[in-house]
A and B are shown apart, each in its own frame.
Chain A
Amino acid sequence: MGWVSRRRVLPALPALTLAVLLVPLGAGLIGTLGPAFGWMPGLAGAQPGLDAFRALLAWPGLPRAVTLSLSTGLAATALSLAIVALVTAAWGGTRVFAALRRLLSPLLSVPHAAAAFGLAFLIAPSGWLMRLASAWATGLERPPDVLIVQDPLGLTLIAGLVVKEVPFLLLMTIAALGQADATRAQTVAQTLGYGRTTGWLKAVFPRVYAQIRLPVYVVLAFSMTVVDVAIILGPNTPPTLSVQILRWMTDPDLSLRLQAAAGAVLQLALVLAALALWRLVEIATARLGRAWVLRGARARLGEPALRGLSVLPAGAAAATVLLGIAILALWSVAGLWSFPKALPDQLSLRSWMRHGPELAEIAARTVTIAGLATLASLILALGCLEAEHRDGLTLRRTGLWLLYLPLLIPQVAFLPGVQTAMLLLGLDGGLFAVTAAHVIFVFPYVFLSLGDPFRAWDTRYATIACTLGARANRVLWRVRLPMLLAPVLTASAVGVAVSVGQYLPTLLVGGGRVPTLTTEAVALASGGDRRAIGVFALAQTAAALVPFALALILPRLLYRNRRGLLHD
């Protein structure tokens, strides 16, 4: 194929991409809206009307479930953003920051469910921390009867979300830093007499935030609607709204399917309201922030305290996930391990032996799906960005928002509708269908991760290359992509991690016939066998971790002598 045919393909890519994402999404939403308003073929007794919403409003747990969804989502997002902003402000560019980043980035790949289990195994009254304390300090023989995990306020759920969202936002921030001209702005601010933290917050943060705004929105929408983490760490009397929707969706009483659909519509409205609220707070913060910047105060009083305080939560997030994984690993090889012993009575490879052969097959399938979904997403994302660059086919504003719809709309709201639509079209729920479904969720993350660095690339390099006689394709392959290797690899690693962690799409689109490490781990989670959970959560973590290691190591190997290309 010559470049002529490629030139025809490229301009069509943005439209094709939108179709890949939005057709299933639209079909799924119709499949949700229909039942919410009483339309559901195949269900006896379904009548068009508002009965489902009336039933939803009659559920006594609704006010608390709605409050929980909002409070945990907003708190987790605000905390994660504050931690990331402060730690980057106070420590950006230092050795501590580099160490923290090396510690936190791989943690992004740790599946949410695994991190949540790790946290629960650590801080529960019978968890490892209490065991440790009992052995040396408290002398307790039995775990204290206190409610830590699954507390009614959702504090543990917030903590579980924060430890996972801090690495995500930090990675997004670091990717944005290179494009925000942070180092020079920081230097200028410090030359003008500002302290490191204050200077960064005043001069760099506004630019960085503009680039990480959509990731922040995604964190908000995700935190409000997450199911697996909320099942493990969140309250149950009542649960968050999304968990309750899933319960109705999976209740044997089929008429509850309508109530679930109405709940999904409400959940969608809640997410939109929370995003609007967040936007208002953004505007208010920008006003206040501008006044603060203009005042020009250079007081350095709070600086050392701020530096100390900012590193603690970030370090704690990293330590929590790492320790949690270590405890999962320990459980995977534990024999009997009774309270209050800090270590198992005996070690045994029995759990690994039992699951080994099955594990290998499932891991191979997981990696295949993740690789294919990421590759497809990467091709689409690079194609869209290049089309934008060459032909001015920008996806900004409304178009860009459409791309992120799959991340902003609760999965639990549209996936059952997708399942029905696939059946109507006669598509089998095989490996290919699951991969295609994963692309819906993987692509936005890949695009999100890649878009800003790609656009912020200095196009004068292209101009120079063109004046040297290179055509557009050559510029792309020989100049732009090599210079953007670090962000491309990061985006791929994010894509694989996202794919590996998908539960609902795999289960619903695959019809349960395409088991992956995640569906297996979540199925085991309902059984609470910590040894089996340990085995599968570790395997799942490894499947997502290896690409991250490569994304960190490869640019360092290839660009040992080109510091500017490392996107540090």
Chain B
Amino acid sequence: MTRLATLGLAALLPLAATAQTDPADWDAVLEAADGQTVYWNAWGGSTTTNAFIAWVGDRVAEEYGVTLEHVKLSETADAVSRVLSEKAAGEDDDGAIDLIWINGKNFAAMKENDLLFGPFAESLPNWALVDQTKPVSVDFTIPTDGYESPWAAAQVVFMYDTADLAEPLPDMAAILDWAQANPGRFTYPQPPDFLGSTFLKQALYGVIDNPDVLLEPVNDADYDAVTAPLWDYIDALTPHLWREGRAYPQTGPRQIQLMADDEIDLAISFSPGEASTAIANFQLPDTVRTFVPEGGSIGNASFVAIPYNSGSKEGAMVVADFLLSPEAQARALDPQNLGYGTVLNVSALPAEERALFENIDLGIATLGPDELGPALPEPHPSWMARIEEDWVARYGVAAD
């Protein structure tokens, strides 16, 4: 019935149906958001993130009258294909998705195909609190242009089990040496899983001379020369991997389970607090610690974006803004909940809100901000695409 009514109104007032509240008029956004239901499509593979999103739902319902439904995805790309099918079918006004947890190539694909609403991010009231030195305006070298709003900062760390591996390994060469001395005790998620691809990029940073080339789109002349040391490295590493590289864990959490089962002693993570959170949840033994390679590790941010055909854009913006609030950011930082890095400039916050962050026990396996080292920028997505493709051809289809 509602649908018929909407269609009827749309026929009478074709502009009214597609017009939305101006993000800059925040009071109007709040007013329109009250009573809306926001379907947030977010990866559902982690129980801790699911619990966090449920908490966000409770809070935005209390504060703003927004009902948040978590649509649990096994792949963020499912949401991209959903919006694409809707566009193909002409569903331009009230698609199934109102908010997507997104970054990197999913964002690049949606932005390139005009599937996103915006710009809105810089109109959010809490944008003023964001630390602009973090990678919040550029997503894998693609400018966000306000089409997505950051909510968590991430940086690569390696988790190691001190019961089997006493000292941190300083660089990629040391990781190779250790793997050769301890065959079968290291692996990484199978590319194109994003964490596995991240390992390849981190390895690439560790073996090339001039990383600046990675920030430009890949071109054929460069590619072979630049990646040759990477493939030398992976060729040397693969026979010493878990299962001799004939099989790989499919996701990061599967890799954590391998560590809990004592099948491996070293694993990559894209969240400095993940190990502490996993220890608190019995998912890792309390002997696990983390390190970053010398010279720094890749850092990026998680974002939320709003599809162009969301019927609850105002509600979605309210959720995006709430995610940037000190309350939500501090909760996400606490390893008891999520262990995700904050995108806020904590030192610039008022004392009361700063205390929210300072009182958090980061956990035994989490490095302090000063120990994390510099965050290296994500390479241009075209590098990732080529490297993944190449990895699959070299190692991903050659089992015997």
Do the two shown chains form a genuine complex with each other? yes
Residues of A within 8 A of B (CB): 40-44, 59-61, 64-65, 125-126, 141-143, 145-147, 149-152, 231, 235-238, 249-254, 257, 334-339, 348, 354-355, 358, 416, 419-421, 423-424, 426, 428-429, 507, 511-513, 515, 519-520, 522-532
Given A428-B3, A532-B47, A416 and B85 touching (CB < 8 A)? yes
Given A42-B88, A238-B396, A253-B105, A512 and B262 touching (CB < 8 A)? no
Check if B283 sits within 8 Å of A126, measured CB to CB.
Answer: no
Question: Once bound together, how far apart are the Cα atoms of A480 and B250, in whole Å?
Answer: 52
> What is the 8 Å Cβ interface bit string for chain B, positions 65-85, against chain A (1 contact, 0 not)?
000010111111111111011
Residues of B within 8 A of A (CB): 3, 7, 39, 41, 43-47, 51, 54, 69, 71-82, 84-91, 96-97, 105-106, 108-109, 113, 183-184, 190, 192, 242-244, 246-251, 253-258, 260-263, 282-283, 285, 385, 392-393, 395-400
Which A residues are in CB contact (< 8 Å) with B108? 252
Question: Once bound together, how far apart are the Cα atoms of A338 and B41, in whole Å?
Answer: 33
Question: Once bound together, how far apart are the Cα atoms of A513 and B79, in whole Å?
Answer: 12
> Interface SS of chain A: helix, strand, loop or mixed?
loop
Check if B47 sits within 8 Å of A336, measured CB to CB.
Answer: no
Check if A236 sits within 8 Å of B44, measured CB to CB.
Answer: no
Which A residues are in CB contact (< 8 Å) with B41? 512
Least Cβ–Cβ distance between A502 and chain B, in angstroms: 15
Which 7 A-B pairs have CB atoms at the shortest separation, nearest pair first? A527-B45, A61-B397, A423-B89, A145-B184, A42-B88, A511-B96, A126-B261
Which of B44, B82, B262 sits near A524, CB closer than 8 Å?
A: B44
Which A residues are in CB contact (< 8 Å) with B71? 511-513, 515
Least Cβ–Cβ distance between B97 and chain A, in angstroms: 8
24 residue pairs of the A-B complex, CB under 8 angstroms, read: A41-B88, A44-B113, A61-B397, A147-B244, A152-B400, A236-B247, A237-B246, A237-B399, A250-B78, A251-B192, A252-B80, A252-B105, A254-B80, A348-B282, A355-B47, A416-B85, A424-B89, A426-B3, A511-B96, A511-B97, A512-B39, A513-B39, A515-B71, A525-B74
Check if A529 sits within 8 Å of B96, measured CB to CB.
Answer: no
Question: Once bound together, how far apart are the Cα atoms of A253 and B43, in whole Å?
Answer: 18
Question: Once bound together, how far apart are the Cα atoms of A250 and B43, in whole Å?
Answer: 13
Check if B262 sits within 8 Å of A143, measured CB to CB.
Answer: yes
Given A61-B396, A61-B397, A523-B74, A150 and B82 touching (CB < 8 A)? no
Question: Once bound together, how far apart are the Cα atoms of A524 and B149, in whole Å?
Answer: 26
Which A residues are in CB contact (< 8 Å) with B79? 512
Given A237-B246, A532-B47, A253 and B75 touching (CB < 8 A)? no
Check if B78 sits within 8 Å of A512, measured CB to CB.
Answer: yes
Check if B243 sits within 8 Å of A145, measured CB to CB.
Answer: yes
Check if B398 sits within 8 Å of A237, measured CB to CB.
Answer: yes
Least Cβ–Cβ distance between B253 and chain A, in angstroms: 4
Given A236-B247, A526-B250, A420 and B393 touching (CB < 8 A)? no
Given A143-B261, A252-B80, A416-B81, A524 and B47 touching (CB < 8 A)? yes
**20 other A-B residue contacts (CB within 8 Å) besides A145-B263, A527-B46:** A42-B113, A60-B397, A64-B397, A125-B263, A147-B247, A152-B246, A152-B247, A237-B398, A254-B80, A334-B282, A419-B85, A420-B88, A428-B3, A507-B78, A522-B74, A524-B45, A527-B44, A527-B47, A528-B257, A529-B45
Given A145-B243, A249-B81, A250-B75, A527 and B251 touching (CB < 8 A)? yes
Which of A147, A231, A426 sits near B246, CB closer than 8 Å?
A: A147
Question: Once bound together, how far apart are the Cα atoms of A64 and B246, in whole Å?
Answer: 14
Which of B74, B85, B254, B396 sits near A237, CB closer than 8 Å?
A: B396
Residue of A nearest to B2 (CB): A428
Check if B47 sits within 8 Å of A42, measured CB to CB.
Answer: no
Check if B262 sits within 8 Å of A339, measured CB to CB.
Answer: yes
Which B residues are in CB contact (< 8 Å) with A251? 77, 192
Question: Once bound together, how far apart are the Cα atoms of A424 and B91, in whole Å?
Answer: 8
Which B residues are in CB contact (< 8 Å) with A337? 260, 282
